Amino acid sequence: MKPIFNICGEGAFAFVMGMISGYPVGAKIASSFRQNNICSKEECERLLAFTNNSGPLFIIGTVGILMFKNTTIGILLFITHILACLTVGFLFRYWKRNKKSPSTFSGPSGFNQDKKTVTFSNLGEILAQSITSSISTILLIGGFMVIFSSIISIFKASRAVTKFNTFFNTSF
């Protein structure tokens, strides 16, 4: 990760999980890296640029199979999506390279001395925190989807969208 993307090695986990799981897993992992001082602010910004991606289920399943009715198109779209992410990561490797940020980043390894280590005695606590964080993120995203779906339904019911389209189609 360091020679190609100028990111700490832990960034590979965020990239792979973002590719496999899709939105918002890559961004969530990158932000947790920053919160735990595993990477610097600049590294996290670079990491966010290419780890927050659509997952294979959405691109291949929804776009390829449901929209285009062709699995090959879905796979091709997913491959181009991965190549685009790799290109963005490669292009951003020099972004803010020489800037120093006033952060608590603790050096090349990125780990603070006061961080917990995972043992059998605290495994349940760490697992519970992980599940709670995941459920909280899922509920937050679901809440936003419901809110914006309701707003769109209100616009459709009031025919505001139709009036808006009619206005712009006749104006130009």
- pLDDT 10s digits, 101-113: 444 444 444 444 4
Which of 10-19, 55-64, 97-106 is predicted least confidently? Answer: 97-106
Biggest distance spanned by C-alpha atoms of the chain: 69
Is residue 140 domain-resident?
yes
The structure's pTM equals 0.60
Helices (H), the chain: 2-5, 11-21, 25-35, 41-51, 56, 71-91, 123-157, 160-171
Give the model's pLDDT for residue 71: 92
Cα distance between the two ends of the chain: 49
**What is the token pair recorded at 108?**
């090349």
Flag whether 40 is in a domain. Answer: yes
18 or 159: which leads in pLDDT: 18
- Pair 78, 1 in one domain: yes
Q: Alpha-carbon distance 96 to 98, whole Å?
A: 6
**Eight-state DSSP code of residue 23:** T
Is residue 102 assigned to a domain?
A: no
Tokens 């509920």, residue located? 139
| Structural domain includes residue 110 | no
- Residue 108 resides in a domain: no
Contact 86, 4 (CB under 8 A): no
Tell me how far apart the alpha carbons of residues 75 and 72 are, in angstroms, rounded to a whole number: 5
**Domain tally, the chain:** 2
Do both 53 and 125 map to the same domain?
no
CA gap 157, 168 in Å, rounded: 19
Q: Please give the residue range of the domain that contains residue 7.
A: 1-97
- Does residue 40 sit in the same domain as residue 89? yes
**Could you tell me if 4 and 64 lie in one domain?**
yes
Task: Examine the fold and report which residue of 97, 130, 163 is the final residue of a domain before the chain moves on.
Answer: 97
Shared domain check, 128 and 69: no
Q: 125 or 17, which is more confident? A: 17
pLDDT confidence of residue 79: 94
Q: Nearest to residue 25, comparing CAs of 1, 3, 2, 57?
A: 57
Q: What distance in Å separates the CA atoms of residue 91 and residue 16, rounded to the nearest whole number? A: 19
In a domain, 14, yes or no: yes
pLDDT score at 70: 92
